Chain A
Amino acid sequence: MLEIKDLHVRLEEEEKEILKGVDLTVEAGKVHAIMGPNGSGKSTLSYVLSGRDGYEVTEGSAQLEGEDLLDLEPEERAAAGLFLAFQYPVEIPGVGNMTFLRTAVNAQRKARGEEELSAAEFLKIIRERAKALKIDAEMLKRPVNVGFSGGEKKRNEILQMAMLEPKMCILDETDSGLDVDAMKLVAEGVNALRGEGRSFLVITHYQRLLDHIKPDVVHIMADGRIVKSGGPELALEVENNGYADILAEVD
Chain B
Amino acid sequence: MAALDQTQVKEGVDQETVDAVREVSTYKYGWETDIEMEYAPKGVNPDIVRLISEKNEEPEWMTEWRLAAFERWTQMEEPQWAMVSYPKIDFQDQYYYARPKSMEEKPKSLDEVDPKLLATYEKLGIPLKEQMILAGVEGAEDAPAEGRKVAVDAVFDSVSVGTTFQEELKKAGVIFCSISEAIKEHPELVKKYLGTVVPVSDNFYATLNSAVFSDGSFVYVPPGVRCPMELSTYFRINAENTGQFERTLIIADKGSYVSYLEGCTAPQRDTAQLHAAVVEIIIEEDAEVKYSTVQNWFPGDENGKGGIYNFVTKRADCRGDRSKVMWTQVETGSAVTWKYPSCILRGDDSQGEFYSIAIANNYQQADTGTKMVHLGKNTKSRIVSKGISAGKAQNTYRGLVSMHPKAKDSRNYTQCDSLLIGDKCGAHTVPYIEVRNNSSRVEHEATTSKVDDDQLFYCRQRGMDEEEAVALVVNGFCKDVLQALPMEFAMEAQQLVAISLEGSVG
Query: Does A84 have its Cβ within 8 Å of any Cβ on chain B?
Result: yes
**Complex Cα gap A93–B451 (Å):** 11
Tell whether, in the assembled complex, residue A164 and residue B453 are in contact, meaning their CB atoms are under 8 Å apart: no
Query: Which residues of chain B from 441 to 489 have a CB within 8 Å of any chain A CB?
Result: 452-455, 457-466, 468, 472-473, 475-480
A143 touches which one: B141, B452, B476 (CB < 8 A)? B476
A94 touches which one: B454, B466, B479 (CB < 8 A)? B479
Complex interface: chain B residues within 8 A of A11 (CB): none
Residue-by-residue, is B132-147 near A (CB-CB < 8 Å gives 1, otherwise 0)? Answer: 0000000101000000
Complex interface: chain B residues within 8 A of A53 (CB): 453, 457
B465 touches which one: A51, A75, A94 (CB < 8 A)? A75
Tell whether, in the assembled complex, residue B463 and residue A100 are in contact, meaning their CB atoms are under 8 Å apart: no
Complex interface: chain B residues within 8 A of A101 (CB): 462
Query: Which residues of chain B from 304 to 362 have a CB within 8 Å of any chain A CB?
Result: none
**Complex Cα gap A92–B478 (Å):** 12
Interface SS of chain A: helix, strand, loop or mixed? helix
A90 touches which one: B454, B463, B480 (CB < 8 A)? B454
Tell whether, in the assembled complex, residue A100 and residue B472 are in contact, meaning their CB atoms are under 8 Å apart: yes
**Complex Cα gap A116–B143 (Å):** 20
Q: How far is the CB of A65 from chain B (nearest CB, A)?
A: 17
Decide: A95 near B463, CB < 8 A? Known: A53-B453, A90-B455: no
Complex interface: chain B residues within 8 A of A104 (CB): 459, 462-464
Q: How far is the CB of B485 from chain A (nearest CB, A)?
A: 15
Decide: A107 near B453, CB < 8 A? Known: A86-B458, A93-B477: no
Decide: A164 near B454, CB < 8 A? Known: A93-B476, A94-B478, A95-B473: no
**Complex Cα gap A160–B475 (Å):** 21
Complex interface: chain A residues within 8 A of B473 (CB): 92, 95
**Complex Cα gap A160–B461 (Å):** 11
**Complex Cα gap A103–B455 (Å):** 15
Residue-by-residue, is A35-59 near B (CB-CB < 8 Å gives 1, otherwise 0)? Answer: 0000000000000001111000000
Query: Does A2 have its Cβ within 8 Å of any Cβ on chain B?
Result: no
Complex interface: chain B residues within 8 A of A86 (CB): 458, 461
Complex interface: chain A residues within 8 A of B141 (CB): 119, 123
Q: How far is the CB of B498 from chain A (nearest CB, A)?
A: 11
Query: Does A89 have its Cβ within 8 Å of any Cβ on chain B?
Result: yes
Complex interface: chain A residues within 8 A of B466 (CB): 75
Tell whether, in the assembled complex, residue A78 and residue B461 are in contact, meaning their CB atoms are under 8 Å apart: yes
Q: Which 10 A-B pairs have the closest CB atoms?
A: A94-B476, A95-B476, A94-B479, A108-B463, A104-B462, A90-B458, A74-B460, A78-B463, A107-B463, A107-B464
Report 12 cross-chain contacts, Cβ distance below 8 Å, ordered by A residue: A51-B461, A73-B460, A86-B461, A90-B455, A94-B475, A103-B472, A104-B459, A107-B463, A119-B141, A143-B476, A160-B462, A164-B462
